[in-house]
Structure 1
Amino acid sequence: MTNAAEIELASVSKHYGSNVAVDQISLKIKAGSYACLLGPSGCGKSTTLRMIAGHEAISDGDVVLARKVVNDLPPAKRGTAMMFQSYALFPHLDLVDNVAFSLKMKGVEKAKRRSEAMEMLTRMELEAFADRRPDQLSGGQQQRVALARALITQPQALLLDEPLSALDPFLKIRMRAELKRLQASLGMTFVHVTHSQEEAMALADQIVVMSDGKIEQAASPRQIFQKPATPFVARFMGNHNVLSGRLVQEDAIGVTIETPGGRFKGVGRHHGDPDCADIAIRTDHVRFVDAVADSLGFSGVVTNVEDLGATVKVSVQGADIDTFTIVLRDADFFARPVKTGEAVHLSWAEEDTVVLGHPNAS
């Protein structure tokens, strides 16, 4: 449909008085890829998206679209389109006029803009609803109208600010698939803000995890899932336990850290302060055993059991760790069930550990 744009942020910051919302972030998003900015509320992800769009002025650094610095260009001149969380549809206009509105603002004559709007509605499978108004549509249909309105300008990049947040869980899954299909068919660069780890994993070619205005890790979903770069990423993604302590040994394979509850091994190199060392262990790679392996497990007490259907989530307290999570396949759990209050022994393989870094470590 259009030429996709590479997006680059070069040491971009945003200050609101003394408050730093985005702190010198640098990032490259490949042309034609699907990138998700992921993080908790207030981490700077929506502000970053708005700076790319031109709806927020940057304080420092450069926003580069298709190899052109666009800091001083208004949104309409950047070659981007933005889809807002609220969809921002005009309630008094039918779908055709909603979708055609930006072309009307550009002076495109009525017959041509309505024809192009109908083409976009057909692409979104909404042509049968063309004469309806937004309040006569479902949430998913309204979202597709907002997408059609953004895409009719033929942007090089589509920017989406939490587009699925207002939808019910079942519709979110359907619209997730629709967004992925649409992006692949258009070959356009999509940048999507979300606070949902599952949403980012399902959609993105590149996940950019943000915290406190900084980028903690930017990588493929598989890399983020298997090898989180920092304690924040490991905890936020929710699929790793984190053990924190002091570095006491390092060799060619990995490290040993000392925590209040014992010593634990991890695979990888430690960089930075030896008094601040962290190891992550995948929640689904921990097993109940008869005896604890040295430095690769501990004993504790079950504090909670949640049957999630295909998996069972077990929480354990021990080794001076408040909550350590184990996720088991249902068949594995029920072959050897445990209950709250039961003493258990946990173990994991050394190759299933990851030594974590810190964003400011040299």
Structure 2
Amino acid sequence: MSKAAEIDIASVSKVYGTTTAVHAISLKIPAGSYCCFLGPSGCGKTSTLRMIAGHESLSSGDIRLGNVVITDFPPARRGTAMMFQSYALFPHLDLVDNVAFSLKMKGVQKEERRAKALEMLKLMQMEAYATRRPAQLSGGQQQRVALARALITDPEALLLDEPLSALDPFLKIRMRAELKKLQKTLGITFVHVTHSQEEAMALADVIVIMNDGRIEQAAAPRTVFEKPATAFVARFMGDHNVLSGRVTSIDDGIVTLTVPDGQIFSVRDIAQEIGKSIDIGIRTDRVRLEPASEKSLGFQGVVANVEYRGASVKITVIGAGSDDFTVVVSDADYFTKPVSTGDALSLSWAMEDVIPLGRLSA
């Protein structure tokens, strides 16, 4: 396999008519890393991947792979390979010819390309199926063939567009582990588009969270989980509650914010001015089912929903200007003092568990 390369995206935009799909994003993806682009449908993640691959032109900016500016290169000259969501295998060719196809296009002799294709099928543990056609394979097997076909060109970066979306839940988890192992074995840069938070957390060294054509945060999974940069990231990752309000006082580094229904909360280490709108985040697993004391913050709300999840229970509460404030408690804690929909419930958390959330300037 060839050496991994850093991908440098410099002020890249994509405009379709009057719609801007990607707003001048800049990002460096380290060589040999597993990078996941994550975000809701229409956030610009697939457009970005297709621009890296050369399947989509750039409206402005540049893309560099290693030391080479590849902005104007056709896909085959970029040193990248793309695996599509649909796998796009040729139904009339056996697996060897499917995998060898790009080498055939490059004029590589039949024996040499077939030998290389068999080598790739071996890497994917698919050599026993070499003479089969794609229709005779399961979804997971077709995916392995599509991966072998993408990797046969020795790319410096492999680009994956929602590669696991067509698989059933059990196979998804198994293929996730295989993708991670494959990336470590090959040592090349993987760029993977997904809308699954769990998938991105499980796979990535770097998670790039996009929203409305902009990058909200690009960081290691643990950083994204522990310190979401914005309210959007906190909400999208699903492990944080977000409370929004206005700054009503600042005293000795502690900022007080008042939410629309009048309740008051505090946060440390956030530079703000009085009257400004701010957001704070509180992890769902750091909220306790007890009233606030002198040393903690909290509110009383009404239980909207209770979901039993086996080892944990998820309780959704209405209050503090939020209609979906979420608490995740252990099953043991919940069943010691269970609650039902419509019950009043006191919640609290420690000041050190409050995360100040920034806002993206448009």
- Normalized against structure 2, the TM-score is what? 0.97
Unpaired runs of 5+ in structure 2?
none
Q: Deviations over 1:116-154 (max 9, x none)?
A: 100110110001111111111110000000000000000
Structure 1: stretches of 5+ with no match in the other structure? none
Using a 3 Å threshold, how does the CA distance of structure 1 residues 252 and 68 change in structure 2: closer, same or farther? farther
Give the corresponding residue for 1:248.
248
Q: What is the CA–CA distance in structure 2 between the aligned matches of 1:65 and 1:198, rounded to whole Å?
A: 28
Determine if contact 2:296/2:351 at 8 Å carries over to the other structure: no
Q: State the shift of 1:336 in Å.
A: 2.3
What's the CA shift for 1:322?
Answer: 1.3
TM-score scaled by length of structure 1:
0.97
Matches within 5 A, 1:122-161: 122-161=122-161
Paired residues of 1:270 and 1:277 also in contact (CA < 8 A): no
Deviating beyond 6 angstroms after TM superposition, the runs of 4 or more aligned structure 1 residues are: none
Aligned to 2:310: 309
Do the aligned residues in 2 keep the contact of 1:80 with 1:157 (CA within 8 Å)? yes
Q: Aligned partners of 2:3 and 2:273: how far apart in 1? A: 43
SS at match of 2:121: helix
> Residue in 2 aligned with 1:172?
172
State the secondary structure of the residue aligned to 2:210: strand
The aligned residue for residue 22 of structure 1 is: 22
Q: Cα–Cα, structure 1 residues 175 and 265, in superposed 2: closer, same or farther, change >3 Å?
A: same
Distance 2:251 2:109 in 1: 71
Distance 1:7 1:263 in 2: 45
CA RMSD of aligned residues (A): 1.5
Match of 1:281 in 2: 282
**Cα shift readout 1:306-358 (whole Å, capped 9, x = no counterpart):** 00111110011123321210011112212222121211100001111101001
**How many Å apart are 1:67 and its aligned residue?**
2.1
Q: How does 1:181-260 map to 2 (within 5 A)?
A: 181-251=181-251, 253-260=253-260
CA distance in 1, matches of 2:343, 2:30: 50
Amino acid at match of 2:297: L
Partner SS for 1:249: strand
CA distance in 2, matches of 1:178, 1:65: 25
The percentage of counterpart residues that share the same residue type is 67
CA distance in 2 between counterparts of 1:221 and 1:38 reads 11
**1-side partners of 2:154 and 2:252: how far apart?**
52
In the other structure, the counterpart of 1:116 is 116
Match of 1:296, SS state, is: strand
Structural mapping, 1:258-269, within 5 Å: 258-261=258-261, 262-269=263-270
CA distance in 1 between partners of 2:326 and 2:111 (Å): 60
3-state SS of 1:289 partner? coil
User: Counterparts in 2 of 1:276-355, with a 5 A limit?
Assistant: 276-291=277-292, 296-355=297-356
User: Take 1:211 and 1:274, find their aligned partners in 2: how far apart are those partners?
Assistant: 27
Q: Is the 8 A contact 2:7 2:66 kept in 1?
A: yes
Separation in 2 of the partners of 1:207 and 1:271? 28
Of 70-79 and 265-274, deviating more is: 265-274
Tell me how many residue pairs correspond in the alignment: 361
CA contact (8 A) 1:293 1:347 kept: no
